Chain A
C-alpha cells in the first residue's frame, strides 16, 4: 500500500465509501460470491488446520484384522478410531492430511504470489517509468523470454537448477518450501511486471502525474503515492487469478516429486501416492486431494473474475 498516512476524520470516512462501492459492485455477481465463499473456506481450513484435523497428519495407524491400508471412508483402526475419509497406504488419516495439505498449499501459493508481486511490481514500475529507454527494453525482453516458456516447464527447470530439498546460498539456508515459493515467484513475476508496466504507462499519460511533477514531487513519490494506488485494483485481480494457477503449479510440482517432500502433507504428493491404488478401487485416495485442488482453483478463478468486474471502472460504470 502507499506510504501516505492520512490524518483527520475526513479521510477515514472517504475510504469507507470506496470500499462500500466496491462491495456493492462485487455483491451483484453471484458466482464471484460463491468464489469468495470457497476461498474463505480454504482460508479457514488453512488457519485452523491444527484444530480441525482429527489426527496427526503423519501418524500411522494399523488396519484391523481382515482389512489393510488404504482403508475406505468411515473405517476404524484396530483401536476403534474413526477415519471419516479413510486412510492412505501408510495408514495415515486422509482427512487430517488433506487439511494440513491444504494449509501447505495455501502457504506456498500466498507466499509465492507475494514474492512474485514484489518482483513483478518493481520491474513493471521501473520499466513503465523509464518507458522507451534501454532499461525498459532490457526488463521487458527478459520478461518476454521468461513468458516464452510454459510456466510448468520453467518451474521444473528452476527446481532442477536449485536442486531438490533445501538449498544453501552462502550463509543463507533456504528451506525446501521457501525454495519452491521462490521458484514459482520467479516463474510468475513477469505477468505482474506486464500488468504493472501497462498501468504505469497508462497513468503516466494523465495530467495528475504532470500536476505532481509540477508540484515538485520526486519520481519515487509519484510512483508510490500517485500511481501505485491506481495500480492496486488490476494487481489484486491479477493476483487472485494467479492464485488459481499457482495452486495448480504447486500441486503439479509436488505430484512430480519436485515440490514438497514427504512426509510433509501435500495434496500433490497425495495424488502421486494414490496413483498406484486407482485400479484397486481406492477412489477416496484420489478424490479428496484432487477435489480439494480443483475446488481451490475454481474458487480463486471465480473470485478473480468477480473482482475484475467490480474493480474495473469501465465495467462498474456500465452497471450503474
Chain B
C-alpha cells in the first residue's frame, strides 16, 4: 500500500447552536457536526465520503481546506500538521490543497470573467504574470475541457457543466496535489454528471491527484472512489474498499443506504427504506447514534454503549455492536 498523503485523526467540530454572541451567553448547546472521525487517504487515490445531509461530510471537507476551524483533532498532510499552519506557511499550503464546490452558480463570482476567475489564485500567489499568465490560463482551461474563447465569458453565459469546468480549472490553476470535491456533480444534469466525473478521473490520472470525494449519490461514489467512508451524524460508521463495501456492506446503515439506491428493474423485490429523519446533531441519541432507526437493533447495548470503529474480516472498519472485535 502507498503512503497516506492525508490523515485525519479524531477530528471534532462543534458549532454553537445559538445564533449570535449574545444568545450564546445563555445557550451553550452545540451542534456536533463532526464528532471524532479518523481516516487516511493514500496518494493518488480517491476516498468517497458518503452520508445524508447533516452527517458532517461537507464540514469535514471544509476543515481540511481550512475554511472552518475544527474544535479538536489533527489533520496531517504529507507529514505537516495542517491545523497549526498560519500566515505564509498556510498560504503556501493552499497551493497544494484545493476545492471544487457543489453549486457552480454560487462558486463563481458573477461579476468576473472566466479568465479573471481562473487567474485569481495565480495572482494571489503571484505565480505568473503577463504573457505567461495568459498562456497558463489557456492551458488550465484546456485541462478542464474548455477552450480559450471562454476567457472573456461571464458565468451567466455558461451552461451548468461549463461552469463546473471553470470551477475545476480554478482549482487546478495553482497545481494542487489534493482536491476536496464537495458534491461536484450534484447540481448538474445527469447527462453532464458522467462527463464531469470522467474529467475528474482523467485529471487524477494525468496529474496524479488525490481526491476526497464528498457525495450522497452512491452510484457516483462507486464510479470514482477507491475507498469509501460512510458518515452518520458526525461519525464514520464504516470505511472500506469500494468494491467490497458495495458487494458486502457490514453496517446496517450502509446496507440501508445501498438498499435505497433505485434499481432499473420493475421485478426487483420492494426495497427496505430507512424511516424517519436523521436525528438532530444538537442532541444526538445516546449509545449508537443510529439505533433509533436501525433495523438490527440489539437492545440495551446499542442504546447505552457507543460502538467504536473496529477492524473485522478482510480489513473493513465498522462501528457497530454486531461486529464486536473477535466476534
- A: residues with CB less than 8 A from B are 4, 6-8, 10-11, 13-14, 17-18, 132-134, 137, 206-208, 210-217, 221, 225-226, 229-230, 313
- The reply to whether A208 and B107 form a contact with Cβ atoms under 8 Å apart is yes
- The reply to whether B20 and A132 form a contact with Cβ atoms under 8 Å apart is yes
Chain B nearest CB: distance from A65 CB in Å? 68
Which residues of B have CB within 8 Å of A215? Answer: 94, 120-121, 124-125, 170, 174
Q: Among the listed A11, A213, A217, which residue makes an inter-chain contact with B116, where contact means beta carbons less than 8 Å apart?
A: A11
Say yes or no for B225: interface residue by CB 8 A criterion: no
Q: Across the A-B interface, give the 4 residue pairs with the lowest CB-CB distance, nearest first.
A: A10-B152, A207-B107, A215-B121, A229-B111
| CA distance in complex: A208, B112 (Å) | 11
| CA distance in complex: A137, B21 (Å) | 9
Say yes or no for B101: interface residue by CB 8 A criterion: yes
Map CB proximity to A onto B103-120 as digits: 1 under 8 Å, 0 otherwise. Answer: 100111111110111001
Say yes or no for B25: interface residue by CB 8 A criterion: no
- Excluding A212-B120, A214-B98, A215-B124, 14 further A-B contacts by CB distance (< 8 Å) are A6-B116, A8-B115, A8-B134, A18-B111, A207-B106, A210-B101, A210-B107, A214-B99, A215-B125, A216-B91, A216-B125, A221-B124, A229-B111, A230-B110
Q: Among the listed A4, A210, A214, which residue makes an inter-chain contact with B94, where contact means beta carbons less than 8 Å apart?
A: A214
Say yes or no for B246: interface residue by CB 8 A criterion: no
Say yes or no for B65: interface residue by CB 8 A criterion: yes
Which residues of A have CB within 8 Å of B116? Answer: 4, 6, 11
Which residues of B have CB within 8 Å of A208? Answer: 106-109, 117
- The reply to whether B67 and A216 form a contact with Cβ atoms under 8 Å apart is no
- The reply to whether B113 and A207 form a contact with Cβ atoms under 8 Å apart is no
- The reply to whether B109 and A14 form a contact with Cβ atoms under 8 Å apart is no
| CA distance in complex: A273, B110 (Å) | 52
| CA distance in complex: A192, B120 (Å) | 28
- The reply to whether B170 and A211 form a contact with Cβ atoms under 8 Å apart is yes
Which residues of A have CB within 8 Å of B167? Answer: 211
| CA distance in complex: A313, B62 (Å) | 29
| CA distance in complex: A17, B65 (Å) | 35
Which residues of A have CB within 8 Å of B33? Answer: none
The chain B residue with its CB closest to the CB of A227 is: B109
- The reply to whether B154 and A18 form a contact with Cβ atoms under 8 Å apart is yes
| CA distance in complex: A216, B154 (Å) | 23
- The reply to whether B115 and A10 form a contact with Cβ atoms under 8 Å apart is yes
| CA distance in complex: A6, B115 (Å) | 10
Chain B nearest CB: distance from A303 CB in Å? 22
Chain A nearest CB: distance from B86 CB in Å? 12
Chain A nearest CB: distance from B50 CB in Å? 21
Which residues of A have CB within 8 Å of B110? Answer: 230, 313
- The reply to whether B106 and A216 form a contact with Cβ atoms under 8 Å apart is no
Q: Among the listed B91, B95, B106, which residue makes an inter-chain contact with A206, where contact means beta carbons less than 8 Å apart?
A: B106
- The reply to whether B107 and A229 form a contact with Cβ atoms under 8 Å apart is no
| CA distance in complex: A210, B152 (Å) | 23
The chain A residue with its CB closest to the CB of B174 is: A215
Map CB proximity to A onto B153-175 as digits: 1 under 8 Å, 0 otherwise. Answer: 11000000000000100100010
- The reply to whether A211 and B101 form a contact with Cβ atoms under 8 Å apart is yes
| Contact status of A217 and B107, CB under 8 A, knowing A11-B116, A11-B152, A14-B152 | no
Chain B nearest CB: distance from A196 CB in Å? 16
Which of A14, A137, A207, A210 has the largest number of chain B CB atoms within 10 A? Answer: A207
Can you list 29 A-B pairs with a CB-CB distance of less than 8 A? A10-B115, A17-B154, A134-B21, A137-B20, A137-B21, A207-B101, A207-B107, A208-B106, A210-B67, A210-B99, A211-B101, A211-B107, A211-B167, A212-B120, A212-B124, A213-B67, A214-B66, A214-B67, A214-B98, A215-B94, A215-B174, A216-B90, A216-B91, A216-B124, A217-B120, A225-B120, A230-B110, A230-B111, A313-B110
- The reply to whether B67 and A133 form a contact with Cβ atoms under 8 Å apart is no
Chain A nearest CB: distance from B65 CB in Å? 5
Which residues of B have CB within 8 Å of A11? Answer: 113, 115-116, 152
Chain B, range 56-105, C-beta contacts under 8 Å to A:
62, 65-67, 90-91, 94-95, 97-99, 101-103
Which residues of B have CB within 8 Å of A210? Answer: 62, 67, 99, 101, 107
Chain A nearest CB: distance from B131 CB in Å? 10
The chain B residue with its CB closest to the CB of A221 is: B124
The chain A residue with its CB closest to the CB of B19 is: A132
Which residues of A have CB within 8 Å of B309? Answer: none
Which residues of B have CB within 8 Å of A18? Answer: 111, 154
Chain B, range 19-75, C-beta contacts under 8 Å to A:
19-22, 62, 65-67
Say yes or no for B130: interface residue by CB 8 A criterion: yes
Which residues of A have CB within 8 Å of B152? Answer: 10-11, 13-14
Which residues of B have CB within 8 Å of A221? Answer: 124
| Contact status of A14 and B113, CB under 8 A, knowing A215-B121, A217-B120 | yes
Which residues of B have CB within 8 Å of A137? Answer: 20-22
The chain A residue with its CB closest to the CB of B112 is: A229
Which residues of B have CB within 8 Å of A132? Answer: 19-21
Which residues of A have CB within 8 Å of B214? Answer: none
Which residues of A have CB within 8 Å of B151? Answer: 10
Which of B62, B91, B111, B121 has the largest number of chain A CB atoms within 10 A? Answer: B111
| Contact status of A14 and B21, CB under 8 A, knowing A208-B108, A208-B109, A230-B111 | no
